[in-house]
Structure 1
Amino acid sequence: MATDIQQTPFVKQLAANDRPTRDAALSSLRTYLSGRRELPALELLKLWKGLFYCMWMSDRPRTQQALADSLADLVSVLPSPSVVPFLRAFWQTMQREWTNIDVLRMEKFLLLVRRYLGATFKVLKEGGWEEGLVKSHVELLLEVPCNVTEVRVPNGMRFHVIDIYVDELERVELLEEGKEEILERVLEPLRALQKGSPTKPVRVKAKEALEDERL
């Protein structure tokens, strides 16, 4: 898994078990990202390869949880034009690396995915569920984690996203009365998987999620 970016002191500091070192590295990254309105796709993929490695190397439960929270919070400092590209690089990285994650490390990456799906919905809530904003993020979910036919998207990742989808919508209060129209738009990725996935277990899983009593 070694690459140049993964060997830099900065990336190693992000994975440090002592909080002051980790916090300083995260602060530097937040400052860097907050000032970048245009982030090339290749640069973002390189960055996410490094961030994935940070999570990979994080070996204590409390550190893993704190790192997952901190990485998801990076979304909040991004200039608006950079949010979707940054999230796309995250999902593409998870798609690429998912099958390489061993059983002992999977739990922390499941948490990271949960935090990033939650961060996506938080962006929509803070944006007032504006139609264009919702459309761009729903399209991204349809493009990568909830892509119906792309064989490079591991079904394990699809299953996890389906599992946590309604939970994370509840966290941003989208299941409350009066928000039905917005909710229908945000549920499009699950409906797409239910109707169009060539894999029966995925269709069944999506159907079960859409039948959640909270909806």
Structure 2
Amino acid sequence: MASEAQNSPFIKNMASSDKKTRDQALTSLRAYLAAQTQISPLDLLKLWKGLFYCLYMQDKPAQQQRLSRDLASLVSTLRPDVVLPFLGAFWTTMAREWGNIDTHRMNKYLYLIRQYVHASFAWVARGGWKEGVVGSHGRVLEEGPLSAGDVKVPDGLRYHVLDVFVDEVERVGVEGVEIESVLAPVEKLAREGRVKSLRKAAEEVLGDERVRRWRGESVDEVGDGSEGDEEEWGGIQD
């Protein structure tokens, strides 16, 4: 049971200052997760609560980043049917615990989130960007960090995922991608976001030059507005 894993010493030991202890704990956790054909939503939330506070207690910057990368690497060890529930539990945990992250700890969670955005797209890419998988992953984002209207999702979480979205898709590579399916959660947020600033942030993602290239648009089709500004000002008149 994942509830047993959450209470197991190897979860706590992942935040150890001793590298050997950390590595042994990570190996144990990977072996545990790799053996599971399914994990209940409640047990996944219990597991993620333990992992969240494991990172919370890690104070050394280099080890924070190492731990974040290690946590993101767990995605690649999971069986296919476990991946999306695992990601969903991650996003639910980030949303629930967001208000408990103080300013001194925020950067390490922002880094963890970036690692998870990358790991999730990398998992979809390894499967060949299959339409069904892309759609299912998109729904996880729509119901989680890119939710258009769920008040339980902090706006700060939404903004950060939008900030890193294009970068991490680009890192994975878009060869063979039906890009409109990948962008669907951002498109929905741009249309239906509960506040104007969120809709605008989503629109800026869609207006990114890389996104426009992926869509086959010319980046020269839309000017930067500088010429229009000059015409409106008109210069200094005699």
What TM-score do the two structures reach when normalised by structure 1? 0.93
The one-letter code of the counterpart of 2:15 is: A
**Contact 1:34–1:79 (CA under 8 A) maintained in structure 2:** yes
Aligned to 2:197: 201
1:12 Cα deviation (Å)? 2.1
Unpaired runs of at least 5, structure 2:
212-238
1:94 corresponds in structure 2 to: 94
Corresponding residue number in structure 1 for 2:171: 171
Matches within 5 A, 1:179-190: 179=177, 182-190=178-186
Distance 1:70 1:26 in 2: 8
Please list every run of 5 or more consecutive structure 1 residues that lacks an aligned counterpart in the other structure: none
For 1:24, the equivalent position in structure 2 comes to: 24
2:54 and 2:103 map into 1 onto residues whose CA distance is 17
Identity %: 50
What's the offset of the Cα at 1:10?
2.4
Deviation at 1:6, TM superposition (A): 7.0
More deviation, 195-204/147-156: 195-204
Describe the shift of the 1:53–1:5 C-alpha distance in structure 2 as closer, same or farther (beyond 3 A): farther
SS of the equivalent of 2:209 reads: coil
Task: Output the amino acid matched with 1:212.
Answer: D
2:223 is matched with none
Shift of 1:108: 0.4
Structure possessing the higher relative contact order (Cα contacts under 8 Å, 6 or more residues apart):
1
Matched letter for residue 105 of structure 2: R
Mapped to 2, the partners of 1:155 and 1:192 lie a distance apart of 15
Amino acid at match of 2:172: V
1:62-81 pair list within 5 angstroms = 62-81=62-81
Residues 95-117 of structure 1, C-alpha deviation per residue, up to 9 Å, x if partnerless? 10011100000000001110111
TM superposition shift of 1:5: 7.7
Deviation string 1:173-194 (CA, Å, 9 cap, x unpaired) is 11x5x64xx1111111111111
Asked if the contact 1:5–1:50 (Cα under 8 Å) also holds between the matched residues in 2, the reply is no
Is 1:153 the equivalent of 2:153?
Answer: yes
- State the alpha-carbon separation in 1 of the partners of residues 62 and 204 from structure 2: 32
Contact map agreement 1:159 1:205 (CA 8 A) in 2 = yes
Kept in 2: contact 1:6–1:53 (CA 8 A): no
- Report whether the alignment pairs 1:191 with 2:191: no
Q: For 1:208 and 1:130, how far apart are their aligned partners in 2?
A: 26
The two structures, once aligned, show a CA RMSD in angstroms of: 1.5
Does the CA-based 8 Å contact 1:45-1:89 persist in structure 2? Answer: yes
Equivalent residues of 2:11, 2:29 under 8 A apart = no
Q: Is the 8 A contact 2:148 2:192 kept in 1?
A: yes
Shift >4 Å, 4+ stretches: 4-8
Take 1:87 and 1:137, find their aligned partners in 2: how far apart are those partners? 9
How many residues are paired up? 208
**In structure 1, what is the equivalent of residue 104 of structure 2?**
104
Q: Which has the larger radius of gyration?
A: 2
Q: Look up the equivalent residue of 1:208 and give its one-letter code.
A: E
Distance 1:189 1:122, change over 3 A: same
